[in-house]
Amino acid sequence: MIRFGTSGWRAVISDEFTFDNVRRVTRAVARYLAESPGTEGQGVAVGYDTRFLSENFAAEAAAVLAAEGRPAWLSPVALPTPVLAFAILEGGLAGGINITASHNPPEYNGMKFSTSDGAPAPLEVTDRIEKLSGEVSSAAVSVGAEEISVLQPGEAYFARLGKLVGEDVLGSARLRIAVDSRFGTTRGWLDVFLERCGVEVIRLHDRRDPLFGGTSPDCSGTNLDDLRSAVVDQQLDLGLATDGDGDRFGIVDADGEIVNANVVLALLVDYLHTSRGWDEGVGRTVATTHLVDRVAAEHGFAVHETPVGFKYFQPLLASGRVFLAGEEIAGLSVKGHVPEKDGILAACLVAEMVAATGSAVGTLVEDLFRRVGTVLSRREDRRFAPEQRAALAERLERRPSRLAGVHVAEVNTIDGVKWVREDGSWVLVRVSGTEPVVRVYAEAGDAAALDALIASGLDMIPCA
């Protein structure tokens, strides 16, 4: 049975991810929309990333939608996930289907469904689509090209970025920035916008490669080695990266150091508050840094904690309770934009922050730590066999009064199990919703305490 995880349905190409199953899921989406009041006559946007056969899978999805009587708007080019979300809102559409497996390895592909608000579909919607996918046909259809409309949100999206990012600030600073699109969808988006603002852009991995250079489309760790080298060798101000579908960001400082995404989120919360006067509050997932909480406390606004998954931020952004929503997996959005991760926007905001302050990111981090205290974060993943789930659940039911020698002040079960110690440090153990792994997240004020917390979390995993 097709299953949706934290962010869509993902599977190995030609194993479970087949044309038959893409047609089945698309038909289920169409039937779900037919059941949904107020969507009559509204179209569905269809986009895709740069993976193997993604454009073919997208064309098949558009054809099924058209055959089901649902107007289909198909992008003629690979489209970043945040741009598809923007197109849904801009066009007043019923939703969007994106053929992408995001940061997963190249043998995977996937489908994301976004609702009419541009947000990732919530659990009750994906549950219904899952059920319908088991009831509908996988039969192929034939429709004329005239039955499918062309989706072209480019200039409107650039205009939105121009309202959210200080173009004049970027233009006056004359920054030199390396941009790594990771062989993915942001080629022609992030680089072009920065150049329009007057930034000198050095492009890396600026072509389609379904194998992502033999690695993965993720924008972290060793995948950023080429970006680090470019920044250092050419003495650039900054390195910016996005993952394969453009919803995540990676930041390399002028000295070649990769900046932890948690720290970037806290810096941007601080910068957007001081530069724009925004103070409605911030949203973060249970796995995201409490450094955000310290910044919020310093400035006097609220923090809203959610389970992992950007779909949980939609109510917070829609109601105006937060000006920024962010995840430790390098995803964020801001008020006045889409309720979806936007790596393009995040990268542009970091560039603006560097331009406005005239400081390297590392200098800004040092200043932040001086003001609110040092916070170090790390995540470790372990492969996990399904038959070990019961043993893991039993271990997570334990409620130790002390963890790595410090008293436990709080146990949080909003998503996985998170033990918060009395000194504010914490460890979280949760099963991934997108991959067969268990993730251990930890945060502490020094490296030794962080190592101890990571070790305590790994000890709870039967396969570790």
Three-state SS at 127? helix
| pTM of the predicted model as reported, rounded to 2 decimal places | 0.95
Neighbours of 168 (CB within 10 A): 12
**Residue 185: phi, psi to the nearest 5?**
-85, -15
Rounded-to-integer distance, Cα 34 and Cα 54, Å: 26
Q: What is the pLDDT of residue 358?
A: 97
Which structure tokens are listed for 74?
């198909």
3-state helix, strand, coil split of the chain in percent (to 5) is: 40, 25, 40
Give SS3 for 268: helix
Q: Which residues contact 32 (CB under 8 A, 6 or more apart)?
A: 125, 128, 129, 132
Q: Please, what is the Cα angle at 220 between 219 and 224, to 5 degrees? A: 80
Query: What is the C-alpha to C-alpha distance for residues 462 and 384, in angstroms, rounded to an integer?
Result: 9
Q: Where are the domains of the chain?
A: 9-154, 171-372, 378-458
296 Cβ partners below 8 Å, 6+ apart? 269, 281, 282, 302, 303
> Residue 42 phi/psi, 5° resolution?
-80, 140
CB half-sphere exposure, 311, CA atoms < 13 A: 19
Q: Which pLDDT belongs to residue 171? A: 94
pLDDT digits (tens, 9 = 90+) for 226-281: 999 999 999 999 999 999 999 999 999 999 999 999 999 999 999 999 999 999 99
9-154 and 378-458 agree in CATH topology: no
Task: Tell which CATH architecture fits domain 171-372.
Answer: 3-Layer(aba) Sandwich (3.40)
pLDDT in tens, 346-390: 999 999 999 999 999 999 999 999 999 999 999 999 987 877 888
Report, in angstroms and rounded to the nearest whole number, the Rg of the chain calculated over CA atoms: 22
| CATH topology (fold) of 378-458 | TATA-Binding Protein (3.30.310)
Q: Which pLDDT does position 463 carry in this prediction?
A: 62
pLDDT of residue 464: 46
What does the pLDDT read at residue 132?
Answer: 96
Q: Which of 119, 85, 106 is nearest to 318 (CA)?
A: 119
Helix (H, G, I), strand (E, B) or coil at 175: coil
Residue with the two structure tokens 């970091």: 350
Q: What is the pLDDT along the chain (464 residues), one digit of tens a residue?
A: 799 987 789 999 999 999 999 999 999 999 999 999 989 999 999 999 999 999 999 999 999 999 999 999 999 999 999 999 999 999 999 999 999 999 899 999 999 999 999 999 999 999 999 999 999 999 999 999 899 999 999 999 999 999 999 999 999 999 999 999 999 999 999 999 999 999 999 999 999 999 999 999 999 999 999 999 999 999 999 999 999 999 999 999 999 999 999 999 999 999 999 999 999 999 999 999 999 999 999 999 999 999 999 999 999 999 999 999 999 999 999 999 999 999 999 999 999 999 999 999 999 999 999 999 999 999 999 987 877 888 888 888 888 889 989 999 999 999 999 999 999 999 999 988 777 789 999 999 999 999 999 999 998 888 64
CA 68 to CA 345: how far, in whole Å?
35
- SS3 category, 62: helix
**CB under 8 Å to 403, separation ≥6 — which residues?**
419, 421, 427, 453, 456
User: What's the topology of domain 9-154?
Assistant: Alpha-D-Glucose-1,6-Bisphosphate; Chain A, domain 3 (3.40.120)
Question: What residues contact 302, with CB distance under 8 A and at least 6 apart?
Answer: 281, 282, 296, 321
Pairing of the two strands 238-242 and 148-150:
unpaired
Distances in Å between the Cα of 216 and the Cα atoms of 237, 242, 336, 425 are 26, 12, 32, 32
